[in-house]
Structure 1
Amino acid sequence: MIASREVVDGLKQGVLVGAAVLVLVLPQVRQHAWRAPAGMSPTVASALQAPAPEAGSPPDGTQATPAPPLQRRLELGRERASRDVRRVAQWVVDAADNGDRQFVILDKRNARVYVFEPSGKLAGASPVLLGYAAGDDTVPGIGERPIEDVRPQERTTPAGRFVAERGRNARDEDVVWVDYDAAVSMHRVLTTNPVERRLQRLASPTSRDNRISYGCINLPPSFFEKVLWPRFEQRTGVVYVLPEVKPLAEVFPGVARPLQLARKPGVSGPHVSGV
């Protein structure tokens, strides 16, 4: 029994001595563990010796400031939009269907486009040229066919909700792709065929002569460059193409449903592009 006590006492003393040695030695080890090689810049050496930032912290060590909640409100200003445009725009804002992205509403019946900030504030509106044929659907596989093989009755601008993004078409032109598989995009008005008088059609006071394209949405160059294009520079956006044949609620069922008050997190209140 006495021998056992002596062993235990000896172990305790050994632990205490070991702890004391560590207290004396560790600071020296930390001080001399790493030295910058000769010729290394002091700035680089200091950066290498600095402790790594915590996971999720900004590189400069500052605390990240969360983005304020998006204040959502439909603001059309003096723009006299159609009833269907107002209904869809109000639903997008109330339901936060666009998330935190800019959105576009295309009114085919009136050949007019509306570009909105993510909050619901109108950034601009403009007349547009649309597909020659009336209709809300596209022919399957039409985006893979040569443009000259697309028949007049097939030249429709499809209706629906699309996630759109910047891109280039086969002619190396700037476009915002609406339906990539169907080769439908928004782009500057094409004037390669003077007989079509596309600029004159855009400038006319009526929308009855704005059906001329193969399905794409032709915009005035200034509107495309100053209003639409910059808003798709950093991210995708949502494009809502209103139907002209089908009922609105068939294409956008959310317009007819009672509003759900739940919000999304962080949110409150080489194809040839058709010509």
Structure 2
Amino acid sequence: MAASPPDVQQRPAAEGPAPAPVDTRHSDILDGIKQGVLWGAAIAVLVLPLFRPHPVAPPAAVGLQATAPPPMTPRTADFGGEPASNEAREVANWVVSSGDNRKLFFVILDKINTKVFVFEPSGKLRSATPVLIGAARGDDSVDGIGGRPIAQVQPQERTTPAGRFVAEPGRNATGEDVVWVDYDAAVSMHRVRTLEPKERRLERLASPTTEDNRISYGCINMPVEFYENVLKPAFNASYGVVYVLPEVKPLAEVFPAAHELAVKQGTVPAG
């Protein structure tokens, strides 16, 4: 067998197919995706803190919203001898008869008489107290008012809204614990504040009249002792239902089912 020429090197036999050429375009695409993800994460970190946090209702809150009334057995709320208006009694009796409070503590705010009643789930009154409420008369909140700086809230807009609210404990912008009645409208129940001595809030609470109990921007101010010993334990890490009676609208418009029950029971005239 003839030898190979000395200037020609023989290539060793291949052990497999030759490797495919590297496609650099694929690598460039991956690098671009990685950079996009990193930029997106950086933007999210910068932007998300600018949004106002909003409490997210856990699954337990499902079903607390007002629904079609179940069959009811007429019952009477136990006020324990505490003086109360006919309207407050109408709503309380309807709540315990219909089970609208879903076996939770519930609160009735009588705005006309500037008084709060806190009930146990059974309908037995736990306690009551005078409160301070919105300086302006009215049963509705202005759209978007909860997102405004407090200095931009006009005097005629300082109302405490009427209606049924699913309330929950939380904290306000200063970190103070409160019970949110209407988070979007920034309406809560909290301890009376004495930051402005000229407002004389403690004196207003102690006075026997109701005319001077209108001073807040819409929140419900109550004595510190009442908040700590009655309201806070009732809403301790739990939801509750707050019924705010109207002062301008008819009760039958805001709480029609309560009015219908009172008519059937003969405690109020029809119409």
1:118 to 116, 121, 129: 121
Amino acid of the structure 2 residue aligned with 1:162:
F
Give secondary structure in 1 for the equivalent of 2:190. Answer: strand
Tell me the distance in 2 between the aligned counterparts of 1:94 and 1:174. Answer: 32
Match of 2:151 in 1: 148
1:255 to 242, 250, 258: 258
**Post-superposition offset of 1:138:** 0.5
Amino acid of the structure 2 residue aligned with 1:206:
T
**Can you list the C-alpha shifts for 1:140-160, whole angstroms capped at 9, x where unaligned?**
000000000001000000000
Residue 224 (structure 2) pairs with residue 213 (structure 1): no
Tell me the distance in 1 between the aligned counterparts of 2:200 and 2:235. Answer: 29
**Post-superposition offset of 1:196:** 0.2
1:204 to 207, 212, 236: 207
1:128 to 120, 131, 138: 131
Match of 2:248 in 1: 245
Higher relative contact order (CA 8 A, sep 6+): 1
TM-score computed with the length of structure 1 as normaliser: 0.67
Amino acid of the structure 1 residue aligned with 2:218:
G
Match of 1:11 in 2: none
Amino acid of the structure 2 residue aligned with 1:202:
L
**Post-superposition offset of 1:73:** 5.2
Tell me the distance in 2 between the aligned counterparts of 1:178 and 1:254. Answer: 21
Tell me the distance in 2 between the aligned counterparts of 1:226 and 1:258. Answer: 33
Residue 87 (structure 2) pairs with residue 84 (structure 1): yes
Give secondary structure in 2 for the equivalent of 1:158. Answer: coil
**Can you list the C-alpha shifts for 1:146-181, whole angstroms capped at 9, x where unaligned?**
000001000000000000000000011110000000
Residue 100 (structure 2) pairs with residue 97 (structure 1): yes
Q: For the structure 1 residues 171 and 118, does the alpha-carbon distance in structure 2 shift closer, same or farther, using more than 3 Å as the test?
A: same
| C-alpha contact (below 8 Å) 1:133/1:156 kept by paired residues | yes
Tell me the distance in 1 between the aligned counterparts of 2:141 and 2:149. Answer: 15
Match of 2:193 in 1: 190
TM-score computed with the length of structure 2 as normaliser: 0.68
Tell me the distance in 2 between the aligned counterparts of 1:120 and 1:170. Answer: 33
**Post-superposition offset of 1:194:** 0.3
Amino acid of the structure 1 residue aligned with 2:165:
F
RMSD over aligned Cα atoms: 1.1
- Aligned residue pairs total 188
| C-alpha contact (below 8 Å) 1:73/1:119 kept by paired residues | no
Q: For the structure 1 residues 174 and 249, does the alpha-carbon distance in structure 2 shift closer, same or farther, using more than 3 Å as the test?
A: same
**Can you list the C-alpha shifts for 1:59-93, whole angstroms capped at 9, x where unaligned?**
xxxxxxxxxxxxx7521111010000000000001
Amino acid of the structure 1 residue aligned with 2:168:
E
Give secondary structure in 2 for the equivalent of 1:250. Answer: helix
Unpaired segments ≥5 residues, structure 1: 1-71, 260-275
Amino acid of the structure 1 residue aligned with 2:184:
D
Give secondary structure in 2 for the equivalent of 1:162. Answer: strand
Q: For the structure 1 residues 257 and 155, does the alpha-carbon distance in structure 2 shift closer, same or farther, using more than 3 Å as the test?
A: same
**Post-superposition offset of 1:256:** 2.6
Residue 223 (structure 2) pairs with residue 223 (structure 1): no
Amino acid of the structure 2 residue aligned with 1:124:
S
Match of 2:176 in 1: 173
| C-alpha contact (below 8 Å) 1:177/1:184 kept by paired residues | yes
**Post-superposition offset of 1:222:** 0.1
Tell me the distance in 2 between the aligned counterparts of 1:108 and 1:258. Answer: 22
**Can you list the C-alpha shifts for 1:103-141, whole angstroms capped at 9, x where unaligned?**
000000000000000000000000000000000000000
Give secondary structure in 1 for the equivalent of 2:175. Answer: coil
Structure 1 segments (4+ residues) deviating >3 Å: none
